[in-house]
Amino acid sequence: MGEILKKRLKSKRFESDDLEVILNIFVTSYFLRSKHDEVFQRYGLTMPQYNVLRILKGNYPEGYSRCEIISRMVEPAPDVTRIVDRLVKEKLAERYYSEKDKRLSLTRITEKGIELLNKIKPDIDELNSLISSKLTNTEKKKLSDMLEKIYGDYVEE
Amino acid sequence: MGEILKKRLKSKRFESDDLEVILNIFVTSYFLRSKHDEVFQRYGLTMPQYNVLRILKGNYPEGYSRCEIISRMVEPAPDVTRIVDRLVKEKLAERYYSEKDKRLSLTRITEKGIELLNKIKPDIDELNSLISSKLTNTEKKKLSDMLEKIYGDYVEE
DNA sequence: CTAATTTTGGTGTTATAACACGGTAATAAT
DNA sequence: ATTATTACCGTGTTATAACACCAAAATTAG
């Protein structure tokens, strides 16, 4: 039990089952993230940049404000302004301003941004199918359920 | 199903179960990591610094070389040299040199480093017990098993 | 209606991470 | 033995992240 984690961390034992679970979550997340990073890099994107594009695509052709983007990010980054700056520079996104609330600077994805996401999609889909190759549908559901139990109490309304 | 993840990412739906699993892994990892970061910060440490100290403690009073540290890290960092630099500066670790292989620069944890880890331990233990409060022993085992299935093929001997 | 408070973006600074390179030692090949 | 190759560590540079602060606009309170 836990032999794979032990091998991965070259560790003899873990203090508790709780720690083992947490380390496994970290290791798996790092593993998947690295695989994703490889793909993004091939297309000149970073993980946060990709995430912002994906979020913006969800509200195309409208956009989102800085705060709305942050609240939708997998890893909420305080530095969204500059992440968007880089996307704008590459013409993958563009800024416009709200009439109603002049504080808001809204960002929307461009055609070029959408095209880039479409180009990346097959690679990401193939990567994600790794899950199906390892877990049954029942297991996938059970896995998601358990993970949601762990962080669920802390999700805001 | 998946309601908690949807709420967290303010998303209406996900393209596939595979994506849902992956996002849940990322979100849970980020959640747990943030909680850990809070603790580390109270003690003036960063996550990678803590990780290196934890690894070095595993071979106290001997040390490890740079490569050995990297291979044991949850998130292998190329920049271990400078992470160790900072630990040495704070006298939490110290360098010494191998006689046998003069290329090797070995690092070991100091007494002060061990004491710091012991001071942090209760806070981390309490945090980790979050897992026990959410999952049964059977679930914990099943969760670890499934995660190990996902990355297991990629662990080197 | 005015003043205080809150929310929102942006910016300056510092610290850290990522990447590539170079030097030195060990190992393998000739 | 001598050379070539590989392994290991450190460093310089660039890019990004984290943190705190500031200005402007909206909201709330009096």
Entry pTM = 0.94
Which pLDDT does position B37 carry in this prediction? 94
Which pLDDT does position A157 carry in this prediction? 65
Q: State whether A28 and B150 contact (CB < 8 Å).
A: yes
Report A:51-70 residues touching B (Cβ under 8 A): 58, 68
Distance B103 CA to C25 C1' (A): 5
Q: CA–CA distance from B153 to each of A28, A124, B150, B157 (Å)?
A: 12, 19, 8, 10
Which pLDDT does position B99 carry in this prediction? 84
Closest chain A residue by Cα to residue B15: A125
pLDDT surpassing 80 at residue A46: yes
Which pLDDT does position B2 carry in this prediction? 83
**Residue B92 and residue B110 in contact, taking contact as beta carbons nearer than 8 Å:** yes
Report A:87-126 residues touching B (Cβ under 8 A): 125
Give the separation between CA B66 and CA A100, rounded to whole angstroms: 56
Distance of CA B101 to the CA centre of its chain: 29
Tell me the per-residue pLDDT of B49-83, one tens digit each, with 9 for 90 and over: 999 999 999 998 999 999 999 999 999 998 999 99
- Measured CA to C1', what is the nucleotide nearest B85? D10
The per-residue pLDDT string of chain B (157 residues; one tens digit each, 9 = 90 and over) reads 789 999 999 999 999 999 999 999 999 999 999 999 999 999 999 999 999 999 999 998 999 999 999 999 999 998 999 999 999 999 999 999 888 888 889 999 999 999 999 999 999 999 999 999 999 999 999 999 999 999 999 887 6
Which candidate, B62, B24, B54, B15, places its Cα nearest to that of B147? B24
